[in-house]
Amino acid sequence: MTKVSCPICEKKMPGPHIEWPDYPFCSPKCRKIDLGRWLGESYRVPAEEQGSREEDSNSE
Ligand SMILES: [Zn+2]
C-alpha cells in the first residue's frame, strides 16, 4: 500500500490519486506553489560557463 501525500503541504491524500484533479498536489493552490518554487529555483541555478574561460598561458 502506498500512501501519497501532497508534496507541498504534506497533507495525506485519501482515496486513489487518479481521482485528484491536481495530482500529485492536493489542490490547485499547492500546484501553484510548486510551480512558483520550480521557477524560482530554475533561475537560481548557476549557468555553467561553457568555454568562456580565458586562459592566456599558451601565447606565443
Ligand atoms: Zn497540498
Residues 1-38 have pLDDT tens digits of 567 889 999 998 877 767 788 888 999 999 999 999 88
| Closest of 27, 34, 32, 33 to residue 11, by C-alpha | 27
List residues, by chain if needed, whose CB lies under 5 Å from ion ligand 1.
6, 8-9, 11, 26, 30
Superfamily designation of domain 1-43: Erythroid Transcription Factor GATA-1, subunit A (3.30.50.10)
Task: Report CA(45)–ligand 1 centroid distance (Å).
Answer: 25
Q: Say what the pTM is.
A: 0.55
Q: CA–CA separation, 36 vs 58, rounded Å?
A: 46
Task: Report CA(49)–ligand 1 centroid distance (Å).
Answer: 37
Domain residue ranges in the chain: 1-43
| Closest of 52, 17, 59 to residue 25, by C-alpha | 17
Task: Report CA(19)–ligand 1 centroid distance (Å).
Answer: 15
Per residue in 37-51, pLDDT (tens digit) is 888 876 555 656 566
